[in-house]
Amino acid sequence: VTVVTAEQIQQMQRRTAPEILQALPGLNVVQTGGTGGYTNVFMRGTNANHVKVLIDGIEVNDPASANGTFDFGQLLAGDIERVEVLRGPQSGLYGSDAIGGVISITTKKGEGPAKITAFAEGGSFGTLNTSIGGRGSQERVNYAFNIQRQSVRSLPVTPPDLVPPGVPVNNNSYNNLTFSS
């Protein structure tokens, strides 16, 4: 079992779930296209549809997708408290979809005194990551919310060195706004 905590995610400077999972041994993270592209995770040599994915204990594998997998490409890391990876056959506990293993993601909960967090960073290709959140508890009421945005304005589809002179450069853009509570 491998466990990655929110503190470790922050120290590693990971902004998306695929970035977190790429750093873990035994996982093969395959992304189609640039940032936000459809992303599958293969574990222990099995297909991606043999990896069960849980968020706060709820199965999120998509039965409507072509192979019943979960798309990690849109999952941002700002509200993740913990990621647990159980490798190997877990079918006895989690059903037949867990032949390769289980990835369990736990989101941040509201507890303790009120706490507000904010974050902003920018980078090349017009990349902007921002987040604002709050959580806490009062008597028997717990609350937590997070709004996170990740955008890339001009990610080149073809490396600029390979584009002949005079040919227009096509750029990809990506915008992901996530609200969780």
Q: H helices of 39-102, where?
A: 91-94
- Residues 39, 82 within the same domain: yes
| Domain assignment of residue 129, given as a range | 115-180
Distances from the Cα of 22 to the Cαs of 55, 110, 133, 154, 167, in angstroms? Answer: 18, 28, 26, 24, 35
- Residues 94, 127 within the same domain: no
Which residue's structure tokens are 């009062």? 138
**pLDDT value of position 35:** 79
Total of domains in the chain: 2
Burial 152-163 (b: 16+ CB within 10 A, else e): beebeeeeeeee
Three-state secondary-structure class, residue 92: helix
**pLDDT value of position 104:** 96
- Residues 62, 18 within the same domain: yes
Out of 107, 125, 142, pick the residue that ends a domain. 107
* Spatial distance between the Cα atoms of 167 and 4, rounded to a whole number of angstroms: 45
pLDDT in tens, the chain (181 residues): 999 999 999 999 898 999 999 999 999 999 887 778 889 999 988 889 899 999 999 999 988 887 888 999 889 888 899 999 999 888 888 888 888 999 999 998 988 999 999 989 998 888 898 999 999 999 889 999 999 998 988 777 777 788 888 888 777 788 888 888 8
Out of 107, 141, 165, pick the residue that ends a domain. 107
